[in-house]
Structures are given as structure tokens and as C-alpha cells.
Structure 1
């Protein structure tokens, strides 16, 4: 029996995707092989739009770019974690040894074990760490998955408040209600959809410009839980990403900046003057994400050549050798 699926209605497609302009070319030996469409926005300290490529009013799932907001809700709810472990709470970590041990430390501090984690079991994200993990005969495990720091911290927040551990991923759970309230407050937007993220926790759809606005507010904070979050990210960027990650290099390379990359080609940045930046590649391909962000940063005069070069480094390979690159256009 054949099954025919109707094409999705145009109304169901976010404005950030439906009419997004071309923002990157994939160039192989001088020939444009593919193109990527995308949207980018820079918000001013007052939250207004300062620069826009495409329509940033359309809703997107921020994916892991939401993690600093989720961690903020945890801190507001009594999570006492600080420093490198709080940065790990905001992380999509690479699964290096220090990440895994950090997640275990969060769990142990709350009297919990790896068995309490409900994030999706996986191998480490970092290639070397993944190869070593598999070579040692270990299976996919929740502790190795890139969201284990967030999930360990969610569980620790539940312990502080006496909330149920078994249902902590449920959108109606007090923890997730607090996360949703924080998302509304920081973004200034009502989520238009709630879905299950890759790790199993809820994720909220907000306009791309609202995501940028939230990061500007975080980065400009000088006191309170917001400043605690940003201080942890700035002081321990290797826990937020990993030894070889571009988000780690970006945070290290620009004073006062906070940033978080996300799946499906989302990237969010906050600057200490209160400006926010968010980008989304329409097809979800990560190879154009950092290239688009670098072009926006270059346009507004943020970042050294060394830092921007890390973001722009997306070589196209032929027979294992660089024969081209992904380049930003129209930004």
C-alpha cells in the first residue's frame, strides 16, 4: 500500500525559513556547488532590531542555544552550582573526560547517580573522545551525551526543591514550568510551540529576534542569577563546548561575550553592551552556521581576525584535501 503525504502548508513554515535569503555558498574548486539559506539578526540593548538579514520575526526552536536560559531558571529555583559546573549546566559538551567527570560531580553533589539521568544515551561528541569510548567497549551512555551537564543540573534542582525526579522532563513539571517562565521573561515572547528536544527535555519556539534579545540581556547583566550564569560561561568556556569547539574559541577571544551553539544550525551571542545576535541556517546544516555568524560579527566590528578565522574555517574536501570552502554571501 502506498502512502501519499500532502505537502506542508506554507502557513506552517516559519518566516525565518520560508523566504530566507541565500547567506552562504559551498565552493568547490571555484564552482558554487550548493547554497544555504538563512536568517540573522542583531538586536540593540533596548531589544529593537539593529540589523536583519531575512525575516527574524519567524519562530524557531533555539535547540541547545536555550541552555543558558534553562540554567538561569535552575539557579533562580535554588541550584547552588557555580563556576565550571554551572558552565557545564549550560553546555552541549564534547564528552571529554573532564566533561563526564563534571556531570558526575553534579550528580554526586545531589546524592544522585548516572542511573537518574534521562537524557538520550550517546557516544561523546568529540571525535577523539568518541573513538576512545568505543574502543574501550563502553556502550552509548547518558553521561557521555552532550546534554548530561544540563540534565544532571535539572535533577539537582529537583532535589533542592523536593520535586519529583522521575517526571522532571514533563512540560507540566515545576522545573519545566520555571524554565518556560524564564524563556518568556528573557525573550519577551510567548512560545508558539513546545516540543521534545534531542535530549528529551522540552524546547520552546520563539522568534529569532527574541532569542537574540535574550542573549543581549544575559550578557549585559552585572548582578543576580543572570550575571552568575554569564560569569561561569566566560570563565569556563571549555566546559560549555570543548577543547576543539568554535564556541569555546569565540568566548575566549572576545571579552565579555557569551554564546551558545545549537542543533539545526542555530547560534546565539550576547555582547556586554546589551546587543544580541542570533542566526539560523534554514536547512539546519551546521557547516554554514559559524560562517554566517562570523559574517555578522565582522559586519558589526566584533572579534579579531584570529577568532573570526576559527568560525569561518569550514573547508570543502576533495580526496581528503581542502579544495574550497563555505563562504558567506549577502551579509
Structure 2
């Protein structure tokens, strides 16, 4: 892990992308960066320093899944979509994770991701009401970890240390990340415990375009088709990432922590967004991604709906989340 003082210029100098208004006043402003790259490798949109490094967080999962498929992971589409997911811990998600592990004779106890409560609001409340403590399977990355464990088993790799950056699995993943996205400037550890590379934002956009536009019969196409066929496994009911894919034909999308969001279209266009402040206010990243897709011609009910959203006061609209920097 790097101990040098990081360069924050790209975050500090990023332009304002989002205004949150309330009663005619701009209550909050969010800075950020946006990159869009088409199938020919041409930059279609660049806001801020798009070559600067970013931790992709969970937007990396489809690329990690691609590495797993290239190394023998062979799952049903809804299971593969779960490997790409940051799931809400609905019953379908927990069942899928259990089934993925069982396909190679593993138990839930094999998971080494961080114990957590569900990220789905309803599921979180139900989990607590049932008196359950944080568990690895409830954590939103458990699908990815299940896929990692299965990949280890099919390759004869050890499973007890699969999160070690020097493990054959993680080395294979980093090779694919470098090939598909670009140079890794530093590495750290993601919230779930997996190694996390820092990569260029425009490289992430390009990788999503290649994934979404991949040719039939390729490993990348298997990942993209699984996500498109089962968006409910990638996020969950009521989740913006699920809704965007479900209502935008051909779209592959993935949300990530610290306000990262990426998407690709069937014709090879890729878009990636990073909100500088990490906005736990997730509507900012979604609004920017949807607005960027609209500007680039990806017009659907979902991209139109999510490009803005209301600010509520006592249950009624008193302002909006407005994209201003594209």
C-alpha cells in the first residue's frame, strides 16, 4: 500500500457538475469528472482531468468477473450477474450466492469478505428485526467473493488466502484490469477486503464500452449479457443501477462506493463518472451518468428520469437535483 502523499489536484480542480436546489436556493454543489469514450477509442466527453487515477470501487466488478470467466468460471447467467453485483441482500441474492458456492462444494463459511448488514434499506431493517448480526453473505460484495472462490477451485488454487494480492487469482485479475483499463498507479484494499487498483477514469469508461459492445461468443459478451438479462441481480428492487439497465436497451451499468458510476452501450460507448466529494447522496452520481448518456444520444425513459430528481420538503417537491456541468 502506498504511503506517499497523494496528488489531489484532479479532485480539487474538478468543475461543479451538480446543484441541489431547495426553494430557489442552491443548497449544495458537487464537483466531479466525467469521461466518455466510443468504440473507436475517441473521446466523446471529457469533464475535468479524466486521465487522473480513481479507485473504481465496485464499478470494477464486471472487469473482475471478466477475468474470472477467462480463467474458467462457468455459471448460469443470473449467478454471473450476482458475481458482478453490489446486491441489496434480497432473498434472490442470498440464494444465488449460496448456490454459486455450492456448485463446487463450498459453504458460506468460505467467504472472507467483510461482515456487514444489507445495503438495501428494507433488507437492512428486516435483518435487524430478525436479530441478525453483520454477516459476510449479507455484505453487497458476497457475490463477487463467491465467484472468486469458485474460480480458485476450478483452477486448483488455494481458497484460504484468495484475497492475498500475490495469490494467483488476484494476479490474474490485475492482468485483465491492466489490459482492459490501463496502468495501475497504486493499489489498496476495498471495503470488502479485495485488492483495489487505482486506474484512469477514461480507461474505466473505455473498458465498459468494450464490455457492453463485445462480440458474441467472447467472455466479455457473457458478462455483459448476464448483467443485461438480470439487472435485478446486479443491484436490487428500487436500485438506480437496476432500473437504468432494465429500461435502457443494451445498457451495462455498475455503481460503486464514493460516488463512482460507469456504463456501456451495445455500440461500444463507455461513460464513467466520479463525484469528488464521494457524495453519499447517491443521486448526484446517477444524475450525472444519466445526463451524460442523454447528451451522447442514449435516450430512454430511465436516462430521462434519472438525469434529474426532486428535492422534497414535507413530502412535496421544493427543488431538484440538477446537472449543470455537462
Q: TM-score, normalised by structure 2?
A: 0.95
Asked if 1:25 corresponds to 2:19, the answer is yes
* Residue number in structure 2 paired with 1:71: 65
Q: After TM superposition, list the pairs within 5 Å mapping 1:109-188 onto structure 2.
A: 109-187=103-181
Aligned partners of 2:247, 2:50: CA distance in 1, in Å?
A: 27
Could you tell me which of 290, 295, 312 is aligned with 2:307? Answer: 312
Query: C-alpha offsets along residues 263-292 of structure 1, whole Å, 9 cap, x if unaligned?
Result: 111111111111110111011102310011
Aligned partners of 1:272, 1:309: CA distance in 2, in Å?
A: 19
Q: Helix, strand or coil for the counterpart of 2:198? A: strand
1:172 to 1:14, Cα distance in 2 relative to 1, 3 A: farther
Moved over 4 A (4+): none
Aligned partners of 2:308, 2:14: CA distance in 1, in Å?
A: 23
Aligned partners of 1:180, 1:313: CA distance in 2, in Å?
A: 36
Asked if 1:216 corresponds to 2:209, the answer is yes
Shift of 1:53: 1.2
8 Å CA contact 2:183, 2:200 repeated in 1: no
Q: Helix, strand or coil for the counterpart of 1:256? A: coil
Shift of 1:251: 1.0
* Residue number in structure 1 paired with 2:54: 60
* Residue number in structure 1 paired with 2:296: 300
8 Å CA contact 1:73, 1:182 repeated in 2: yes
Shift of 1:80: 1.2
Aligned partners of 1:142, 1:41: CA distance in 2, in Å?
A: 33
* Residue number in structure 2 paired with 1:100: 94
Shift of 1:298: 1.6
Aligned partners of 1:143, 1:108: CA distance in 2, in Å?
A: 14
* Residue number in structure 1 paired with 2:233: 239
8 Å CA contact 2:36, 2:46 repeated in 1: yes
Worse-matched range after superposition: 320-329 or 27-36: 320-329
Q: Helix, strand or coil for the counterpart of 2:272? A: strand
Could you tell me which of 220, 225, 230 is aligned with 2:224? Answer: 230
Q: Helix, strand or coil for the counterpart of 2:136? A: coil
* Residue number in structure 1 paired with 2:189: 196
Gaps (5+ residues) in structure 1? 1-7
Query: C-alpha offsets along residues 61-86 of structure 1, whole Å, 9 cap, x if unaligned?
Result: 01000000000111111111131000
Gaps (5+ residues) in structure 2? none
CA-based RMSD of the aligned residues comes to 1.5
Query: C-alpha offsets along residues 175-209 of structure 1, whole Å, 9 cap, x if unaligned?
Result: 0001100101111x110011100111011111100
Q: Helix, strand or coil for the counterpart of 1:98? A: helix
1:238 to 1:313, Cα distance in 2 relative to 1, 3 A: farther
Shift of 1:309: 4.2
Aligned partners of 1:314, 1:179: CA distance in 2, in Å?
A: 37
Asked if 1:275 corresponds to 2:269, the answer is yes
Shift of 1:321: 4.4
Q: TM-score, normalised by structure 1?
A: 0.93
Q: Helix, strand or coil for the counterpart of 1:307? A: helix
* Residue number in structure 1 paired with 2:323: 328
Aligned partners of 1:295, 1:238: CA distance in 2, in Å?
A: 22
* Residue number in structure 1 paired with 2:286: 290
8 Å CA contact 2:291, 2:304 repeated in 1: no
Query: C-alpha offsets along residues 38-65 of structure 1, whole Å, 9 cap, x if unaligned?
Result: 1111102122312111110111001000
